[in-house]
Structure 1
Amino acid sequence: MLVGIIGGGSIGLLFGAYLGQEHPVTLFTKREEQAQGIKKNGIFLYSPEKEGRAVQVNASFEKESLTEQDVIIVAVKQYDMPELKPLLLSIPKHIPLCFVQNGMGHLDMLHGLPHETIIVATVEHGAKRLDDQSVSHNGAGRTNLALFKGHANLPEIFPQCTDPHFPVTVHNDYYTMMIEKLVANALINPLTVVFRVKNGRLVENPYYYAILKLMFEEIYSIFPSGNKEQSFDQVLRICTNTKNNTSSMLSDIQAGRKTEIDAILGYILKVAERKGVKLQTVQMIYVMVKGIVLERS
């Protein structure tokens, strides 16, 4: 299967390294220097279980060959999606698109795409881009897939990977799947920024845990999806599985990059406002993160 991946960040590199072991992968990058380096040397994948190894994949700064792919995985940050829309509209509508973003603010844009098959995905893995060609797989998890639009059989159109460290799970209900990830992102990312800690400390420190639980109660009141206890246990499991990881939002702040705070907590607060509900703890954490970002700018 010819696999195109748009985005050379941590998730794009992680998908490229694992899927590239079994499929011809082309990584489409924003910078020509990154594309040239990957074409020459491949993607270096590091993980606790294995020594660093290079996976040979193709890479391109030019986007013309997007039309040659069997499936395209869009792995850019949510705030880059509006800028990417003209490119997506140029891709033939018969090519399935898979979107891997935090939050749910991008779903409105997906409704406006003409493509016959659109997949949404959530990623539980911990990954960190070390440089243009290297990614560290720090926390094992799953990739969750669900159809957003279309009637395709996902195992037939999404590239399979037999590596046990990169499992893929198919879900029937994209909304419930994404709500579960939204809740986890809304808790883990902002709180690790405020407390300046790795993911695991949110469950190890009883005071951080108390805030985590309080935020969960507020968010669940807006998105009461599935079993409440199981939903919270899922968040705790992600914290534990990625306990030594620096969250993506904290990494972005440390690197001086834009954050997804508006796409995550901002989205939740807008939904709460539409429902006439005040989320005091969520609002407080949102304002604190915005203040931290302002201090860094």
Structure 2
Amino acid sequence: MKPIKRIGIIGNGAVGMLMASLFEPDYTVTLYGRVNEATTVTIERIGVTNGKAHVSLCPVTSLAESEQDVFFVTTKAHQVEAATERLSGDVPVFICSNGIAHLDYARKRGFHLGVVEHGVSRDGARLQHTGLGRIRIGSLGSLEEMSFNASPLDVVWEADIEQVVTEKLFANAIINPITALCRVENGAVASPPCRDIADAVYTELSTLFDLHVPYTYIETIIEKTAHNRSSMLRDIEAGRQTEVDAILTPLLKRADERGITLTVIPVLQKLILGASVSC
């Protein structure tokens, strides 16, 4: 595989801007978003990393696949298909959205997967980097292992990316709805009464998947992002569409397919949908 020099990041939300700003010292980075014209944005980071980066921001409609060596898709799950319609898969594409709703789409298109474990929130072009983690990437096909220069992003290649995605789904399905409904930071999920709900959700999740996900993984994510406000909480607060259909709704379908009766997860799904409608 040819050396990576140019990185395209689709999605100019908090995660996309964090990745762009931390890749920028070592690569030529282009950020693609829903903007009308190309410009240069100055991204400022505070928190566990501090610094500034100047990154090109272009309309996603101007995206040309041949201009990049790799793409990372950091949009919300319900935006993935529209965001990637101009890509063929000839250049590696890693979808880093939450949930599992995009797995079949990724397989169909010949794309690959990524999981973001960093905690980050955004206020304009200013980022609050609230928790260090990793960017875990891997292939659903035969893509050769890819490596990136060392940086706080800590990009690592995973031989079994589906296991990693399942682990992240557990964390999202537990942390996001609880924090969104209780209006608390992620760290609150470590203690009762939120921990009691988390335990109940974890028990139901464990019946839906053959892969084992230790609760210690969820605890690690909660600890690393303790002061972060989950994306689902921020979406509800801002009156935006949540990722409930990427995170919780597929779980209901899986339960139905397996003949498993769930109690807690369906209630959380309905409450999130209700909270979204009331925004």
TM-score scaled by structure 2? 0.93
Q: Deviation of residue 28 (structure 1)?
A: 1.1
Query: Which of 106, 114, 122 in structure 2 is aligned with 1:121?
Result: 114
1:17 lines up with 2:16 in the alignment: no
Listed one character per residue, the Cα deviations across residues 202-261 of structure 1 (whole Å, up to 9, x for unaligned) are 112x221111001100101111423x5xx2111011111111110010011111111001
Query: Which of 165, 168, 171 in structure 2 is aligned with 1:181?
Result: 168
Measure the CA separation in 1 of the matches of 2:24 and 2:49.
18
Measure the CA separation in 2 of the matches of 1:21 and 1:30.
24
Which residue is 1:138 aligned to? Answer: 130
1:111 lines up with 2:110 in the alignment: no
Listed one character per residue, the Cα deviations across residues 123-178 of structure 1 (whole Å, up to 9, x for unaligned) are 111111211x22221111111111122231222xxxx2422x32122211121111
CA contact (8 A) 1:4 1:69 kept: yes
CA contact (8 A) 1:127 1:139 kept: yes
Amino acid corresponding to residue 128 of structure 2 in structure 1: S
Which residue is 1:211 aligned to? Answer: 197
Higher deviation after alignment, 140-149 or 80-89: 80-89
Aligned CA distance change for structure 1 residues 85 and 66 (closer, same or farther; 3 Å): closer
Amino acid corresponding to residue 131 of structure 2 in structure 1: G
Which residue is 2:42 aligned to? Answer: 42
Q: How many residues align?
A: 274
The alignment partner of 1:28 has SS state of strand
CA contact (8 A) 1:6 1:72 kept: yes
Amino acid corresponding to residue 57 of structure 1 in structure 2: V
Measure the CA separation in 2 of the matches of 1:65 and 1:82.
16
Percent identical pairs in the alignment equals 29
TM-score scaled by structure 1? 0.87
Measure the CA separation in 2 of the matches of 1:111 and 1:162.
29
1:56 lines up with 2:48 in the alignment: no
Stretches of structure 2 that go unaligned for 5 or more consecutive residues are: none
Higher helix share: 1
Measure the CA separation in 1 of the matches of 2:63 and 2:15.
22
1:166 lines up with 2:187 in the alignment: no
Measure the CA separation in 1 of the matches of 2:48 and 2:160.
33
User: How large is the Cα RMSD of the aligned pairs?
Assistant: 1.6
Measure the CA separation in 2 of the matches of 1:259 and 1:151.
32
